Chain A
Amino acid sequence: MTAIVSARDVYKFFGKGANELAVLRGVTFDVHEGEFVCIMGPSGSGKSTLLHMLSGLDAPSAGQVELFGQDLGALSHHERTLLRRKSIGYVFQFFNLLPNLSVEENVGLPLAIQGKRPAAERPRIRELLERFGLGDRGGSFPHQLSGGQMQHTSIARALAGGQPLLLCDEPTGNLSQKAGREVMETLRRVCGEDGRSVLLVTHNPRDAGYADRVLFLVDGELQPEPVLNGPDIPVETIHETLAALHI
């Protein structure tokens, strides 16, 4: 399989001198086309920072990140933005829907960013809304939705642009168990469609169980072992692994 994300010996430091803090330390891993990869770790382990490096929002202090074969370090800010626009759909823990836009407009946002005409893309957006059970909420605004509906809107937005990679940052962290389960089932479902890959960072063992491969990040270091392979990894197995890693 082709590696669409490739991190090589990635370091990230914050602060300077005595206050310098290493958030990521020599992280190396790949994500392949159609793969659902989960990176687990406790709060503060560097999960979100890693996502920022992979998406090109932030630059590593050292090491190399390749996205779809392109070295992000060699690209300008604008080129990284264009690559992100083309390649990555983002799902946030706090949804980050634009409050002024309706559900339909939020979902259509990546298309608008790509310069496509909303009217022409409307059938596609409607189809996505129907698929995520939001068919009757297109005209609603984010504050009128439940948490689960907001996150489904967020996922629909991440898929609308047709990007092959979904980066999901604690997507169920702000949801009820039931809503969280629905969201994860959705992510599991979309993975593999059209060769789409999902990279999930979470501290929730239940969410990790949906992944094809689970990696563990502890204090900024990606543990070479164990690597759990799924899907349908039992939650108990994950708990045991976490315990073994003293997390």
Chain B
Amino acid sequence: MSLAITLARRSLLQRPGRTLFSILGVAVGIATVVAVFTVDHVTLKSRTFVDNRWKADLEVRAGRDVQDPRGTLRGTEGVTDVAAFFQNDAMFRPRVGPGERSDPERVQMVALDAGTGQAIGAYHVIDGADLAPDAAENQVLIGSGLAREHDLKPGDELYLSRPRRGARKVCREGEVQVVESRDVPVEEAFTIVGVITNDGVGRKALGRIVVVDYQVGRELYRGAFVDPRFWIRRDPNVDIENLGASLGQSFSYELNSSVVVGQMEDERAFRNGVHLAGFLALTLGLYVIFHTLSMSLRERVREVAVLHALGTARRQIARVFFLEALIIAVAAGVLGFVGGLGLARLLLKQGITTLGVVENPVNIFSVPWTIVLPLSLLGIAIALLGSVYPLMRARRSDTVSTLRGEDLLGGGQASLARGFHIFTAILLIGVLPVIYFSVAPVVGAAEATLVGPILACLGVAALLIALPLIVPSVVGLVCGSVARFFERTWPLAGKLAARSIEQGPSRIAASVAAIALVTAAFVGLKGMTNSLRAEVETWGQEAVVDKVFVSGLPNVKIDGITAELSKLPEVIGVESGDTRSYVPFLMIGVRPGQLRGWGPCKENPNLIKAMRERQGMIVSERLARHRNIDVGDTLAINTSGHGVQTFRVAAVTDEYGYFTQPDERMYGVVDDALMDRYFCLDATTTTRLAVRLRDGADPDVVQAAIFGKLPEGTPPDNMRFIQGREVLDYHVADISRDFLLFDIILGLTALLAAIGVLNGQLLAALERAKELGVLRALGTTRRQVAGMVLLESSVLGVTGGLLGLVFGSALTPIVVKALRMMSGLPLPHRSAGPYLAWCLLGALVVTALAGVYPIWRMNRLDAVRAVRTG
């Protein structure tokens, strides 16, 4: 063993650069995958109540005849837990100094059983604590938008009330009655116990949201209509269809709680994507170590021959390589594990999670030992496995030929490279997908359909790995030709770079493949985010652009303000935003006549008639997809006092009904008279408007007109005017923020690719030490050596980059299709666009930077030593 220790130790210490970059290669790969799974674990954990971990399987609403819905649900076989909730608007007023009084603002309110919100994944407390179930005081959680806007933090106080209405009508026992007295909502003081992140319900209304206990919410809304619903936890042993059938007798129900909790399908797609990117990094890290060990073998094959001549048994030689690989792999595993946890912590501190970027840092931290430890061990094991192949070849090396200075490895270098790439390709295509699906199991039919696209992605990746296997000489020839092209400009650098490339086509092809793989991943990612942006842009062009969203109005008469605004030549329609209810999707009442100026109602005036006379509903694209409904289909809506009413889908469009609060894309628009009739909602006054302008109109005219209309001309402090373009920009920027984690992971894979290129060039330089020594002895300057390496690096970068653009462009439709399948979003196919140029430039920069260390190392080469000893 002392022989193995001596040789391995010396080999590692005498080649510190190679050792360092080999360790770094595996470590960065392991660190990335450890970080990804740790961040994901913490992301989920932070949204899960530890002592009562459950997710809502069903969302139900009690029928009118159910006296004790909670008790009835609890008594239903297969139901293990129940949480009640409702959501509505609330008037919020921060506490200010003594003698002062702040103006109330309208915010979104969710009331649900205290202590269950995180369990069902509805929100995530980022600062402070969750609502306590038996708190003596009124407690409230606030959204990050509200916290930021008013500089609120846990411990501060605020006031909440239900919105004040004109209140000429109230709903009692489901019957509309006229009440003479004015409605005076009770204002209650609340203590802020926590701030929630801008995901789940926290994403609603741009973070201007409050969450209170269900009973407290009911108290706040005493005397007003609320639409209570229940989330229930199912006994996993009970079939969900049977449970649904039992519940269906007394309750209306729907599977999953995505309406309130957020877009779960999107979240799942996002998390899977992050996992996949993490595995890509691990794969690339292992690719680097395979490549490095393989090249290291070529460098050391003479050493093996000498040892053999001196009587070293094959087993002893194998032990040397195995020990060396073990040291590298273990060091890399430890470094990667610790580094991965550090990286995870750093990302969480920056608010970067596997469900997007949140406003505030995630301060909790927990290590998913059962995942990251096996993953680290897996990385170590595969790195060791990567050493097996070179090891087997080392055992087979022909000592006599080597001592003669002939063919180094029996079958030759090409054979070594081919075998190495076959080995890698098998690992990539066969082993890693199995591991991936073991760690990230396929859940549900939607994700089962993803197996194909994921395997297709891996196939493309495998093709890149296989490229050096199949056509290394072609890649070498192409790169060599590019390098020779520069001979005219830089004769020496061009000639030497071309020679170097042509002498090691396998090395070149492997480096090109690594660069191409990362570039392809970047192109795929950018294509995917472009598709998401395009989807948002398409939605935004219909729903928000050319609109001005006004909120905080002092309960103005809808007809009055509409008439005033309609006088403006720039205004073609006004939507009021207060007449709404969750049924369980958001249903908004508008004046149908105001819609005639644009969109489908302009093209087909019968739609307005349908809304007024036939309970027609215009549904948003997302609701239509979610419910799988189209024009002519009907929707049964449970009303307050009029039983279940049928609405007919008149049109599917996003042109009408969107408001920045609650920032919901799944809604239906009806005649506001129906909201008055069925839900007793005041359809005469409003505090918010969406004003549709003509193309290119100045949005400021709306503000000027409203200010002119207000009494005494003084606007309330909390009145807001948000231009549609701003809303759209926010949503587009949201995509970039959410995908920051992908950029970081792919940045790490770019680093890995750079390490791979660097290792390749470094080992090639060491192999060519004698040649370099001769060149230096003949007067070649350091700048000329640097030029040669830089030219070679750049050729690798350009070739790999271009190849990556091609493969990435082929990969993009597959990725977009996968995302479309998971999220249900109508994602259009988009290329990476201008990012193609940036990706190519990035590939060039990464490879050029990868050449810096080999340049430094080569210029430090002792010419005399190189000439004497090689």
In the complex, what's the smallest C-beta–C-beta distance from A110 to chain B, in angstroms? 6
Interface contact A96-B6, CB-CB below 8 Å: no
B309: nearest chain-A partner, CB-CB: A90
Interface contact B6-A101, CB-CB below 8 Å: yes
Interface contact A98-B306, CB-CB below 8 Å: yes
Interface contact A48-B404, CB-CB below 8 Å: yes
For residue A30, which residues in chain B have a CB less than 8 angstroms away from its CB?
none
Interface contact A85-B312, CB-CB below 8 Å: yes
Q: Is A168 an interface residue (CB 8 A)?
A: no
Given A101-B6, A143-B865, check contact A81 B306 (CB 8 Å). no
Q: Is B2 an interface residue (CB 8 A)?
A: yes
Q: Is A57 an interface residue (CB 8 A)?
A: yes
Q: Is B313 an interface residue (CB 8 A)?
A: yes
In the complex, what's the smallest C-beta–C-beta distance from A189 to chain B, in angstroms? 22
**Interface bits A138-168 vs B (CB < 8 Å: 1, else 0):** 0000110001000000000100010000000
Interface contact A112-B3, CB-CB below 8 Å: yes
Q: Is B258 an interface residue (CB 8 A)?
A: no
Interface residues on chain B, number (Cβ under 8 Å): 30
- How far is B307's CA from A157's CA once the two chains are assembled, in angstroms? 12
Binding-face segment, B9-17, B473-481, B530-538: B9-17
B868: nearest chain-A partner, CB-CB: A143
* Binding site secondary structure of chain B: helix
Q: Is A82 an interface residue (CB 8 A)?
A: yes
Q: Is A117 an interface residue (CB 8 A)?
A: yes
Interface contact A109-B310, CB-CB below 8 Å: yes
Interface contact B399-A57, CB-CB below 8 Å: yes
* Binding site secondary structure of chain A: helix
Q: Is B316 an interface residue (CB 8 A)?
A: yes
In the complex, what's the smallest C-beta–C-beta distance from A85 to chain B, in angstroms? 3
Q: Which of A57, A85, A92, A114 contacts B400 (CB 8 A)?
A: A57
In the complex, what's the smallest C-beta–C-beta distance from A152 to chain B, in angstroms? 16
- How far is B15's CA from A100's CA once the two chains are assembled, in angstroms? 8
- How far is B311's CA from A109's CA once the two chains are assembled, in angstroms? 10
- How far is B400's CA from A77's CA once the two chains are assembled, in angstroms? 14
Interface contact B312-A100, CB-CB below 8 Å: no
Interface contact A96-B306, CB-CB below 8 Å: yes
Interface contact A100-B310, CB-CB below 8 Å: no
Q: Is B862 an interface residue (CB 8 A)?
A: yes
For residue A57, which residues in chain B have a CB less than 8 angstroms away from its CB?
308-309, 399-400, 403
**Interface bits B1-38 vs A (CB < 8 Å: 1, else 0):** 11100110011011100000000000000000000000
Q: Which of B313, B865, B869 contacts A81 (CB 8 A)?
A: B313
For residue A92, which residues in chain B have a CB less than 8 angstroms away from its CB?
306, 309, 403
Interface contact A78-B314, CB-CB below 8 Å: yes
Give residues of chain B (269-289) contacting chain A, Cβ–Cβ below 8 Å. none
For residue B10, which residues in chain A have a CB less than 8 angstroms away from its CB?
98, 100-101, 105
**Chain A: interface residue count, which band?**
35 or more
For residue A88, which residues in chain B have a CB less than 8 angstroms away from its CB?
311
Given A112-B3, A112-B6, check contact A81 B314 (CB 8 Å). yes
- How far is B400's CA from A143's CA once the two chains are assembled, in angstroms? 24
Interface contact B403-A82, CB-CB below 8 Å: no
For residue A142, which residues in chain B have a CB less than 8 angstroms away from its CB?
869
Give residues of chain B (382-407) contacting chain A, Cβ–Cβ below 8 Å. 399-400, 403-404
Q: Is A17 an interface residue (CB 8 A)?
A: no
Interface contact A96-B2, CB-CB below 8 Å: no
Interface contact A143-B15, CB-CB below 8 Å: no
Q: Is A99 an interface residue (CB 8 A)?
A: yes
Q: Is A113 an interface residue (CB 8 A)?
A: yes
Interface contact A105-B6, CB-CB below 8 Å: yes
**Interface bits A73-100 vs B (CB < 8 Å: 1, else 0):** 0000110011011101010100010111
- How far is B404's CA from A52's CA once the two chains are assembled, in angstroms? 11
For residue B869, which residues in chain A have a CB less than 8 angstroms away from its CB?
99, 142-143
B14: nearest chain-A partner, CB-CB: A100
Q: Is B302 an interface residue (CB 8 A)?
A: yes
- How far is B404's CA from A81's CA once the two chains are assembled, in angstroms? 19
- How far is B320's CA from A112's CA once the two chains are assembled, in angstroms? 12
For residue A84, which residues in chain B have a CB less than 8 angstroms away from its CB?
309-311
**Interface bits A47-82 vs B (CB < 8 Å: 1, else 0):** 010001001011000000000000000000110011
In the complex, what's the smallest C-beta–C-beta distance from A143 to chain B, in angstroms? 4
- How far is B313's CA from A90's CA once the two chains are assembled, in angstroms? 16
Q: Is A118 an interface residue (CB 8 A)?
A: yes
Give residues of chain A (5-36) contacting chain B, Cβ–Cβ below 8 Å. none
Q: Is B303 an interface residue (CB 8 A)?
A: yes
For residue A96, which residues in chain B have a CB less than 8 angstroms away from its CB?
302, 306, 309, 403
For residue B308, which residues in chain A have a CB less than 8 angstroms away from its CB?
57, 81
B8: nearest chain-A partner, CB-CB: A100
For residue B862, which residues in chain A have a CB less than 8 angstroms away from its CB?
143
Q: Is A115 an interface residue (CB 8 A)?
A: yes
**Interface bits B841-870 vs A (CB < 8 Å: 1, else 0):** 000000000000000000000100100110
Interface contact A113-B865, CB-CB below 8 Å: no
B302: nearest chain-A partner, CB-CB: A96
Interface contact B311-A85, CB-CB below 8 Å: yes
For residue A100, which residues in chain B have a CB less than 8 angstroms away from its CB?
7, 10-11, 13-15, 303
- How far is B310's CA from A92's CA once the two chains are assembled, in angstroms? 11
Interface contact A110-B11, CB-CB below 8 Å: no
- How far is B309's CA from A120's CA once the two chains are assembled, in angstroms? 24
- How far is B2's CA from A78's CA once the two chains are assembled, in angstroms? 20
In this complex, which of A100, A116, A161 has the most chain B Cβ atoms within 10 angstroms of its Cβ?
A: A100
For residue A48, which residues in chain B have a CB less than 8 angstroms away from its CB?
403-404
Interface contact B310-A85, CB-CB below 8 Å: yes
In this complex, which of A112, A117, A118 has the most chain B Cβ atoms within 10 angstroms of its Cβ?
A: A112
In the complex, what's the smallest C-beta–C-beta distance from A245 to chain B, in angstroms? 25
Interface contact B311-A82, CB-CB below 8 Å: yes
In the complex, what's the smallest C-beta–C-beta distance from A52 to chain B, in angstroms? 5
For residue B404, which residues in chain A have a CB less than 8 angstroms away from its CB?
48
- How far is B312's CA from A86's CA once the two chains are assembled, in angstroms? 10
- How far is B400's CA from A150's CA once the two chains are assembled, in angstroms? 22
Interface contact A110-B311, CB-CB below 8 Å: yes
Given A101-B6, A105-B6, A105-B10, check contact A52 B400 (CB 8 Å). yes
For residue B11, which residues in chain A have a CB less than 8 angstroms away from its CB?
100
B15: nearest chain-A partner, CB-CB: A100
For residue A98, which residues in chain B have a CB less than 8 angstroms away from its CB?
7, 10, 303, 306-307
Q: Which of B14, B15, B311, B868 contacts A113 (CB 8 A)?
A: B311
In this complex, which of A81, A85, A110, A147 has the most chain B Cβ atoms within 10 angstroms of its Cβ?
A: A81
Other A-B pairs, 19, CB within 8 Å; known A98-B7, A113-B3: A52-B403, A57-B400, A58-B400, A81-B308, A81-B311, A81-B313, A82-B313, A85-B312, A86-B311, A99-B14, A100-B15, A112-B2, A112-B6, A113-B307, A114-B311, A142-B869, A143-B869, A147-B868, A161-B311
Residues in A lying within 8 Å of B, measured CB to CB = 48, 52, 55, 57-58, 77-78, 81-82, 84-86, 88, 90, 92, 96, 98-101, 105, 109-110, 112-118, 142-143, 147, 157, 161
Contacts A/B (CB < 8 Å), 16 sampled: A57-B308, A77-B314, A81-B311, A81-B312, A82-B311, A84-B309, A84-B310, A84-B311, A90-B309, A100-B11, A100-B13, A100-B14, A105-B10, A110-B311, A113-B3, A113-B310
Residues in B lying within 8 Å of A, measured CB to CB = 1-3, 6-7, 10-11, 13-15, 302-303, 306-314, 316, 399-400, 403-404, 862, 865, 868-869
**CB-CB nearest 8 A-B residue pairs:** A85-B311, A112-B3, A100-B14, A100-B10, A143-B865, A96-B306, A84-B311, A143-B869
